């Protein structure tokens, strides 16, 4: 049997999950990329499901329209206006099955085999996989503490010219580094890129998980051309099990996204969407988010205390002001995969940084999730990891 050539570009899933599979229940794992299950509002969700099935059961169990449940799209458009100053009409919002599907559809819309996609490095592996499935050539751009480096972007655009078909970025509390772009860099980026006819995918998965009172304006806020496609999700602020996310694009792009959504899975789950809309109408999601970000902030603080106390000073990190991750850098001659091997032997796990470089060139970093662990586990796990790091760095 012959397979499509794309299959040669996709990593072996067995390899990708090898680490995951070896994690056991008694392990302290800093590997997670999801919110803490204890925060899921199970009772309220149950009540929403009950109400939806009581009042609109037949509609909730039928096919939904391709664009998604109208009321939910309207609420999302309103929320984004109120929180981020974004002006998307309901018709400019399509519901997707997780933000991963929004990335898949975006790759599908813009990428022919061999086209170049520019993205921050390190970056989210799921997006990399979605792009690889369409045989994009992935070109990594460096970032500094303000965001994507515009000189490097310009250089890449000069070098690859018309072959560049897409730019993918996570401006807020990025996965894996936890860093955010500065407002100045956002504005400068959008102004710079508006001279080109290249679409930008803004992955806003973590944008609402700020530990400060202020939310930054999205790239999309500065975009006058309709060049930025905005991708949001309830997976990190609410729960991932419903698979409800959204993509916003101006009308000319939205038409095409709907064709692709229809081809991909006809529509997302009607009942999941109606449950989500019902929850949003009868509960205060922002209060919920305030509560979980308070919790995550405490866990971040706890983790920083242990790092500062237990780790050698050669291990650097930037304080994340939101999101789920701390990104720890070891000296360049050290390999976090070796550290992981030793940590696993003592029942501690994390994701080695090399996983977030599509070309796998940099291996001295670690992604540490803080959102999913109790203070006790953070204290215990990070103390072990600190001791192992000290020993490893002393070699």
Tell how strand 365-369 and strand 325-329 pair up: antiparallel
3 state DSSP class of 286: helix
> Does residue 237 touch a copy of itself according to CB under 8 A?
no
3 state DSSP class of 184: helix
Alpha-helical regions (H) of the chain: 13-22, 42-60, 70-84, 98-110, 125-132, 150-160, 183-193, 219-222, 251-265, 270-282, 285-310, 336-345, 375-394
Sorted by sequence, the CB contacts under 8 Å of residue 229 that are 6+ apart come out as 106, 199, 200, 201, 202, 247, 248, 249, 253
Q: CB 158 → a copy of itself: shortest distance, Å?
A: 18
Closest to a copy of itself by CB, 24 vs 62, is: 62
Strand order in the sheet with 351-352: 325-329, 365-369, 351-352
> Does residue 192 touch a copy of itself according to CB under 8 A?
no
Q: Tell which one of 28, 64, 330, 388 touches a copy of itself (CB under 8 A).
A: 64
> Does residue 318 touch a copy of itself according to CB under 8 A?
no
Closest to a copy of itself by CB, 220 vs 364, is: 220
3-class SS shares of the chain: helix, strand, coil, % to 5: 50, 15, 35
> Does residue 3 touch a copy of itself according to CB under 8 A?
yes
C-alpha closest to that of 212 among 144, 296, 123: 296
Closest to a copy of itself by CB, 249 vs 339, is: 249
Closest to a copy of itself by CB, 62 vs 359, is: 62
User: Rounded to 5 degrees, what are φ and ψ at 37?
Assistant: -55, -25
> Does residue 391 touch a copy of itself according to CB under 8 A?
no
Closest to a copy of itself by CB, 1 vs 287, is: 1
Taking CA atoms, 1 is separated from 7, 11, 19, in Å, by 13, 19, 30
Q: CB 290 → a copy of itself: shortest distance, Å?
A: 19
End-to-end CA distance of the chain: 50
C-alpha closest to that of 150 among 177, 179, 126, 184: 184
Closest to a copy of itself by CB, 27 vs 260, is: 260
> Does residue 326 touch a copy of itself according to CB under 8 A?
no
- In angstroms and rounded to an integer, the radius of gyration of the C-alpha atoms of the chain is 21
> Does residue 199 touch a copy of itself according to CB under 8 A?
yes
Q: Tell which one of 42, 281, 319, 391 touches a copy of itself (CB under 8 A).
A: 42
Q: Tell which one of 50, 78, 308, 332 touches a copy of itself (CB under 8 A).
A: 50
Q: Tell which one of 84, 88, 119, 134 touches a copy of itself (CB under 8 A).
A: 134
Q: Tell which one of 83, 91, 126, 217 touches a copy of itself (CB under 8 A).
A: 126
C-alpha closest to that of 312 among 253, 391, 215: 391
Q: Tell which one of 144, 251, 265, 376 touches a copy of itself (CB under 8 A).
A: 265
- Distance CA(259)–CA(264), nearest Å, equals 9
Site residues for a copy of itself, 146-175, by CB under 8 A, read: 165
Ramachandran category for residue 85: left, alpha or beta (phi over 0 → left; psi -120 to 50 → alpha):
left
Closest to a copy of itself by CB, 215 vs 259, is: 259
> Does residue 132 touch a copy of itself according to CB under 8 A?
yes
Q: CB 393 → a copy of itself: shortest distance, Å?
A: 34
C-alpha closest to that of 233 among 205, 212, 259, 253: 205
> Does residue 193 touch a copy of itself according to CB under 8 A?
no
Residues in contact with a copy of itself, total (CB under 8 A)? 79
> Does residue 303 touch a copy of itself according to CB under 8 A?
no
Site residues for a copy of itself, 331-350, by CB under 8 A, read: none
Determine the interface stretch with a copy of itself among 177-185, 207-215, 248-256, 280-288 (rule: CB under 8 A). Answer: 248-256
Q: CB 57 → a copy of itself: shortest distance, Å?
A: 4
Site residues for a copy of itself, 67-106, by CB under 8 A, read: 97-98, 100-101, 104
Determine the interface stretch with a copy of itself among 1-9, 205-213, 344-352, 355-363 (rule: CB under 8 A). Answer: 1-9
């Amino acid at each position: 049997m012959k397979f499509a050539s794309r299959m040669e570009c996709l990593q072996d899933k067995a390899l990708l999950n090898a680490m995951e599979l070896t994690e056991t229940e008694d392990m302290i794992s800093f590997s997670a990329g999801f919110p803490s299950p204890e925060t899921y509002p199970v009772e309220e969700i149950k009540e929403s499901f009950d109400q939806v099935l009581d009042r609109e059961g037949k509609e909730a169990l039928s096919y939904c329209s391709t664009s998604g449940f109208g009321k939910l799209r309207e609420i999302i458009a309103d929320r984004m206006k109120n929180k981020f100053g974004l002006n998307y009409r309901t018709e400019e919002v399509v519901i997707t099955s997780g933000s991963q599907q929004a990335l898949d559809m975006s790759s599908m819309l813009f990428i022919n085999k061999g086209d170049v996609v520019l993205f921050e490095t390190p970056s989210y592996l799921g997006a990399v996989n979605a792009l690889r499935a369409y045989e994009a050539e992935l070109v990594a751009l460096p970032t500094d503490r303000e965001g994507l480096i515009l000189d490097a972007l310009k250089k890449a655009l000069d070098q690859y010219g018309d072959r560049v078909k897409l730019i993918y970025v996570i401006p807020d509390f990025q996965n894996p580094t936890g860093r955010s772009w500065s407002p100045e860099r956002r504005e400068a980026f959008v102004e710079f890129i508006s001279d080109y006819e290249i679409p930008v995918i803004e992955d806003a998965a973590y944008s609402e998980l700020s530990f400060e009172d202020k939310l930054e304006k999205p790239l999309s806020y500065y975009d006058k051309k309709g060049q930025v496609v905005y991708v949001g999700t309830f997976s990190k602020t609410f729960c991932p099990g419903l698979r409800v996310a959204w993509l916003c694009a101006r009308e000319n792009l939205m038409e095409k996204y709907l064709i692709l959504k229809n081809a991909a899975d006809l529509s997302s789950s009607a009942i999941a969407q109606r449950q989500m809309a019902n929850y949003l109408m009868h509960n205060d999601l922002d209060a919920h988010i305030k509560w979980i970000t308070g919790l995550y902030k405490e866990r971040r603080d706890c983790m920083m205390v242990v790092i500062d106390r237990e780790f050698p000073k050669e291990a650097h990190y930037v304080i994340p002001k939101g999101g789920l991750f701390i990104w720890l850098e070891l000296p360049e001659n050290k390999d976090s995969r070796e550290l992981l091997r030793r940590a696993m032997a003592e029942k501690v796990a994390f994701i080695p940084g090399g996983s977030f470089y599509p070309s796998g060139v940099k291996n001295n970093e670690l992604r540490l999730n803080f959102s999913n662990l109790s203070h006790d586990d953070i204290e215990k796990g990070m103390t072990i990891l600190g001791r192992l790091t000290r020993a490893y760095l002393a070699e």
